Amino acid sequence: MPRFLSLVRIEENTIDMEEAGPEFGARMGALLEEITKAGVMLDTAGLLPTDQATRITWQDGKLSYTDGPFTETKEVVGGYALMQCKDKAEALEWGRRFLEVHPAQWTVGLELRQLDEG
């Protein structure tokens, strides 16, 4: 079965976990438990804020390091999930359900990519 990497994209400075309320954590926990019991979820985690990150760039034969936060970036990867699904349609369905758990006033995106295992 193919594996898919889901990259959760957020506008880091606009997400307020306080406004989500305790019910958000309960809904997310229930969905993650369902995905895991279905045998789909291989690994998942949220990421620490970009003010604790470093970008490493290779350009013109040289490395450069940039410590966060990355103010020029509007959208960042806030988490990921590695899933094994029967096909892309199933992976998209889990992605839809994941996004719908979030508060309506948040802007959260999801990039779904199949792993190249060939």
CA atoms within 13 A on the CB side of 90: 14
The b-or-e profile of 84-117 (16+ CB within 10 A means b, else e) is ebeeeebbeebbeebeebbeeeeebebebeeeee
pLDDT of 17 reads 80
pLDDT of 41 reads 97
The mean per-residue pLDDT over the stretch 41-67 comes to 96
- Do residues 6 and 95 touch, judged by C-beta distance below 8 A? yes
pTM score, two decimals? 0.88
pLDDT of 73 reads 78
pLDDT of 8 reads 96
Strand, helix or coil at 117?
Answer: coil
Domains detected in the chain: 3-114 (3.30.70.1060)
Beta strand segments in the chain, E: 3-10, 41-46, 54-59, 62-67, 76-84, 108-114
pLDDT surpassing 80 at residue 45: yes
pLDDT of 20 reads 83
Query: Rounded to whole angstroms, how far apart are CA atoms 85 and 5?
Result: 11
Between 73 and 100, where is the model more confident? 100
Between 19 and 23, where is the model more confident? 23
